[in-house]
A and B are shown apart, each in its own frame.
Chain A
Amino acid sequence: MSTAVVTVNRGLFRGLNLRQKTLLIIGSTSLLLLGIVVSSVFLGGEPLQTNFGSKNLAPSLEHPFGTDWMGRDMFVRTLEGLGLSILVGGLASTISTVLTVILGLLSSAGKTADSFVSWLVDLFLSIPHLLLIILISIGLGGGATGVIIAVALTHWPSLTRVVRAEIKQLKTQEYIHISRNLGKSKWWIASKHILPHLVPQILLGTILMFPHAILHEASVTFLGFGLSPHEPAIGIILSESMRYLSAGYWWLAFFPGLSLLIVVLAFDMIGENLGKLMNPKNAHE
């Protein structure tokens, strides 16, 4: 398949090699996401004015995303919602990653611990994810904290599974056997020999967890759990827009959802391109 491997460099990025191109994509998408978060934080300071003189306006130059039934600018609301989503997603994937690392290292500690971890993973995967989030958020008393904690507590199983398989494979390596024969403790081997190998994988897994967490947060909010209707979350904006669908106010739903899609895509792209950079196997391409 030698023909497939040779990629011709053309188009927008002529003159750059794959490595530079990948870095460029990662840089620009990260900048976009950072821009969203920063501007949403700045906008969060001043309350959105309601202006009944300009309610339910279709998209125009002044209001690129149109306005809602209270005359609020949908572009600003969407931006704030995206910022909130990214922050919640970040918190959730950080907590899930910490859990993954703990459980991964625990599974390397011994046979009983390992089967406990795999049992826990199976348990969490046995209930549909969305239902599990609803159940946990109710158990925690609902509200914004309930939803955020539930999203954070349920995204570790798939990454843990990957990490566990990786650890199993690493443990059969000879240098680990030698290290053990030299009398190093289990903890020493886990932190000095196994953990460094897992870092790139865990980093990548965390970034790829982001979109899942963001989408789950938006879904659960859309269903009416968690955040109060005053918060500018994408899920709330969209569930509100449902009431105005038959009136033909299509922009209320279309643009916020599309922006969410773009944010999720941006995270996917960063994750995938980072994966390309970190995998030495296709560095020569």
Chain B
Amino acid sequence: MSNNEKIAGFVGKKALRLTSLLIVVCFASFMLIQCSPIDPVRAYIGEMPVTAEHKAKLEAYWGVNTPPQDKFLNWAGDILKGDFGTSLIFRIPVIDVIKERFTASLVLMGVSWLFSGILGFVLGIIAGAKQGTWVDKAIKTYCYALAAAPTFWLALVLLMVFSVYLGWFPIGLSVPIGVTADDVTFFDWFKRLILPALTLSLLDIAKITMFTREKLIEVLSSDYVLFAKARGEKGLDLVLRHGIRNVALPAITLQFLGFSELFGGTVLVEQVFSYPGIGQAAVAAGLRSDVPLLLGIVIFSALFVFFGNLIADIIYEFVDPRIKQQEASV
């Protein structure tokens, strides 16, 4: 099979998957919300008292009593045109809310994703290379403890230590209060990013470290490493030359597959630090029955996870030299 054919096949398959996934996710989440006892009119007017007559008018206006299948088709048709409806909380189009919030979250997630990936990989290599020593045991203990720690609790502890006790960082909010958006300096914004990003990466490190460690130990007990040792290679050189090359790709792939957990962690961390990202919007939408916003966020988060998996697949299929060689020999 030529390379071009392979790429075309891959793209076609993935496009088909994405389309079917989106259709199913839209349909399933819409039906879930449809079954729920949420009264959309009540969610819209909030606590204000209204007369029954007025409420009936609103119900007619919002089309509460149209059959579910018509509702779904209307909604899905609008989404195809790029119209996700209007958010009930923010009173602006859902797509604008998501654009703004998702950008903020992407910065947070991106920073911690990179940081945890690099640090986790390095720690994993150290632990694997020094298997059985106290360094390895210390790193392992750290990973076990972190993997078991509730995200929001870790966030609270960091907030207590660094913001309340030491006073190094402000307590929550992404920008200072009472300053217009144009006057927010890069430093202000950066200062408020540090703690949430730190929390998120501390938690993510555990998984990637343990994985790298296991893989490196596996590689180090292979025949070719034994042969390399027999030739006189040892220490750091051996790990760098034979270990890292074999471990790096699977570790990077794993890091891309973790987008779903990264998103979950962001939701919790944003809530603790009042970081105005997509996670906080999702929680607010859920608590206050903002159905259009919630559905929009579900769709976009599914897209986000899909692209993480897609990149992992691309690395696996096209970047890994071993897979290439296997195909060449077939």
Contact = CB atoms under 8 A, between A and B. Distances in A.
B69 interface: no
Interface string B141-153: 0001101111111
Interface stretch (B31-39, B231-239, B245-253): B31-39
B144 A219 contact: no
Contacts of B294: 134-135, 138
Contact of A238 (B153, B289, B298): B153
Interface string A101-144: 00000000000000000000011011111110011101111100
Contacts of A258: 153
A264 B156 CA distance: 18
A134 B156 CA distance: 22
A235 B153 CA distance: 9
Contacts of A265: 144-145, 148
Given A4-B131, A125-B260, A222-B268, A139 B152 contact: no
A129 B36 CA distance: 19
Contacts of A264: 148-150
A139 B286 contact: no
Contacts of A225: 286-287
Chain B interface main SS type = helix
Interface string B266-293: 0110011000000000110011010000
Nearest to A140: B36
Contacts of A141: 36-37
A224 B152 CA distance: 13
Contacts of A139: 32-33, 35-36
B261 interface: yes
Residue from A245, A258, A265 with most neighbouring chain B CB atoms (10 Å): A245
Contact of A224 (B33, B145, B154, B287): B287
A215 interface: yes
Interface in B205-223: 220-221
Given A4-B132, A224-B283, A128 B153 contact: no
B7 interface: no
B103 interface: no
A196 interface: no
A123 B297 contact: no
Given A139-B33, A215-B150, A268-B144, A127 B156 contact: no
Contact of A138 (B33, B171, B261): B33
A246 interface: yes
Interface in A81-96: none
Interface in B1-51: 21, 24-25, 28-29, 32-33, 35-38
Contacts of B306: 126
Contacts of A125: 260, 305
A128 B260 contact: yes
A257 interface: yes
Interface stretch (A66-74, A177-185, A248-256): A248-256
Contacts of B92: none
Residue from A139, A258, A268 with most neighbouring chain B CB atoms (10 Å): A139
Given A223-B283, A261-B153, A268-B148, A130 B131 contact: no
Interface stretch (B115-123, B157-165, B190-198, B312-320): B157-165
Interface string B88-118: 0000000000000000000000000000000
Contact of A219 (B32, B152, B159, B286): B152
A128 B36 contact: no
Given A131-B297, A242-B272, A245-B171, A126 B145 contact: no
A211 interface: yes
Contacts of A222: 150, 152, 268, 271
Interface in A227-261: 234-235, 238, 241-242, 245-246, 248, 250, 253-254, 257-258, 260-261
Closest 6 CB pairs of A and B: A257-B153, A139-B32, A130-B264, A128-B263, A264-B148, A265-B148
9 contacts: A1-B220, A4-B132, A131-B297, A134-B282, A138-B36, A140-B35, A241-B156, A261-B148, A265-B144
Interface of A: 1, 4, 122-123, 125-131, 134-136, 138-142, 211, 215, 218-219, 222-225, 234-235, 238, 241-242, 245-246, 248, 250, 253-254, 257-258, 260-261, 264-265, 268
